[in-house]
Structure 1
Amino acid sequence: MGNNPEISIILVSYNTREYTLRALKTVFEETHDTRFEVILVDNDSKDGSLEAVQKTYPQVQAYASGGNPGFAGGVKFGVDRSKGELVLLLNPDTLVTERAIDRLVDFAHKHPSNGIWGGVTLNNDHTVNTQHAWARHDFLSLLFSAMGLSKIFRKSCFFNKNNYGCWDRTTVKEVDILSGCFFLTPRKLWDQLGGLDPSFFMYAEEADYCLRAKKLGYQPIVTPDARIVHHGGVSHDNFSSKLIKLLRGKVELILRHDSEFKQAIYIKLLYLYVVNKLMASALMKKGSDEHQEWQKVFNERHVWMKGYR
């Protein structure tokens, strides 16, 4: 902590009271070598998240966003009120382990030209969770995902290129996209790009940021030495709600970063992915909760296939 923080740690909460309190506890327990400030933005939680943080951690700058502008909107609200030279996005459903923030900041100092730095995420049992870095989507990655081949051959960098299937997460790696759950970037680049685009309500906003940064010559990079536990998706009521938002973000990313010719093909491949999942769930057990959730996603295709248009 300090009057002149090196980094601003930004958390956006939405009905994640207990997770948020645990995340903040680990931030303060595991960060020793970095001058930091913590800013929490609450997106209209109904579980007393804001009040609990204000009471338990008075050193945290805790704000109500005045509504629910989504993850990107909440982050913008927080960054606009921060002072650090570096901006660290940290999900409230994470646990900082083994001085992960100190390690990530040290790594950033050693690789200053990359411009976006991230670590490795772990499951609750501390096994590696690979959902922290991705390759940019292309025809083959979307096709293999739609056909289920990326899941069948999940350790293959050919069939599971999108998730870097053959990378064991024990080495430093330059990637296309980093997850926003543990995402460090300099304020100078943040300001140059205008931060996360708030029109992405939730999901793919960090992908859009990374792709825009890459166009300027920056290269997102991951260090295996900075590790956090990420529970994931705790602010969602159900699977279909999460997936509809995820698909909507993916479509918007395609509409912004691919040619018109590719857009039509790539969106059809996302549609095929949903159709195949719906058919598979029907074959396994029609009428099951899983099948009903995929049916909801399919029924909302007129929404997510337009992105945020």
Structure 2
Amino acid sequence: MTSPPVDVVAVVVTYNSADHIADLLDSIPAAMGELRHRVVVVDNGSADDTLAVLDTRTDCTVIRSSNDGYAAGINRAVRACSDADSILILNPDATLDEGAVPTMRAALSASGVGIVAPRVREADGSLSPTLRRGPTMGRVGGLSFTRWPAFAERIEDPREYERAHEVEWAVGAILLVDRECYRSLGGLDESYFLYSEETDFSLRAKDAGWATLYTPEAGAMHVGGGSGESATTHTMKILNRIRLYRRRTGTVPAATYYCLTVLVELRRAVLGHRKSWSTLHALVRPSARPPLLNANDSILPR
């Protein structure tokens, strides 16, 4: 017997997410309202009690997988529910407010909109600044504290979170994506493995004529760091930023971007950020890079 069609498929990738996944799943029914929906969870080889928690649930389909990366997990979850006309991408350490998804879906129905991001708060209730500007040479240093658009990738101004507007990209913890937008882009780019996949997706969507829209009318909470950040994941984040910049601008400008990144990580390391020492090592020695990135064949990550 085939399953009835649904309006929204919520897709989640878990990795050692036992402390958070139940709260997320509990929040989904009220967040969906009257929308027909399905929830698909792909577990990327958790070593904690995540699967034990999921085994007690009857409100989601669970797919056990090896860890092929976050983007691969999302794509696998989407393939498991091909009839929904919108895709809700969720981090396992997020929760949704009541009625959030119909509000996001209404925003998604506007002409040319392919991705919708809600207003997100931290666990303490404070605003989580999830909106971002695109990568540029000036923004390589992570100088968001300046709040100058030329240098700040993260949008900090609280006034920008009080109105609906188009953005270049938003943190991918909670995103509603139009199925046709997703299909036309071929899903998330699995070569990133972890980090930058949502940046790449939104920027490619913009290239193809699909806008990313922020709406303050839909709310959610994101704990952040639910799976933790190690020296390895920090390195992956930095390498993927260079990889993304190279793919969008070419080798020559990316070489400058790479050199600036080396200087930025050296400064951070000297100031006491221990993870930056490992990242600096990986930047200058391709053989020291995480094998999962397949980025160890040249100084400038491809």
Taking structure 1 as the reference length, what is the TM-score of the superposition? 0.86
1:86 aligns with 2:86: yes
Q: Of the candidates 128, 140, 144, which is equivalent to residue 150 of structure 1? A: 144
Partner AA of 1:93 in structure 2: D
Q: What are the Cα deviations for residues 239-278 of structure 1, in whole angstroms up to 9, with x where unaligned?
A: x233112112211111211122211111122212111111
Distance 2:32 2:25 in 1: 11
Superposed, 1:82-231 pairs within 5 Å as 82=81, 83-109=83-109, 111-130=110-129, 132-143=130-141, 145=142, 149-151=143-145, 153-154=146-147, 156-160=148-152, 162-166=153-157, 168=159, 169-231=161-223
2:102 counterpart letter in structure 1: D
**Distance verdict in 2 for CA 1:30–1:150, change over 3 Å:** closer
Which amino acid in 1 is paired with 2:112?
A: S
For the residues of structure 2 that align with 1:47 and 1:231, how far apart are their CA atoms? 18
3-state SS of 1:229 partner: strand
One-letter code aligned to 1:7 = V
Displacement of 1:307: 7.0
Rate the CA distance shift 1:306–1:116 in 2: closer, same or farther, 3 A: farther
Q: SS of 1:34's equivalent? A: coil
The one-character-per-residue Cα deviations of 1:273-293 (angstroms, maximum 9, x if unpaired) are 111111222xxxxxxxxx433
Q: Note the C-alpha offset of 1:237.
A: 5.3
In the alignment, which residue of structure 2 is the partner of 1:284?
Answer: none
Measure the CA separation in 1 of the matches of 2:248 and 2:45.
32
Q: Which residue of 2 aligns with 1:243?
A: 234
1:198–1:266 Cα change, 3 Å: same
Matched-pair contact (CA < 8 Å) for 1:116–1:183: yes
Is the Cα contact below 8 Å between 2:93 and 2:223 reproduced in 1?
Answer: yes
5+ residue gaps, structure 2: 290-294
What percent identity do the matched residue pairs reach?
24
Shift of 1:210: 1.2
Deviation per CA, 1:88-119, whole angstroms, max 9, x where unpaired? Answer: 1010010112322222112212x242111111
The alignment status of 1:59 with 2:59, answered yes or no, reads yes
Any stretches of 5+ residues in structure 1 without a counterpart?
282-290
Report runs of 4+ in structure 1 exceeding 4 Å deviation.
304-309
- Are positions 1:11 and 2:12 aligned together? yes
Question: Matched residues in 1 for 2:140 and 2:158: separation?
Answer: 19
Give 1:287's aligned residue.
none
Structure 2 contact 108–178 (Cα < 8 Å) conserved: no
Count of residue pairs the alignment pairs up: 287
* TM-score, structure 2 normalization: 0.88
The CA distance in 2 between the partners of 1:86 and 1:14, in whole Å, is 24
Deviation of 1:306 after TM superposition, in Å, equals 5.2
Give the structure 1 partner of residue 73 of structure 2: 74
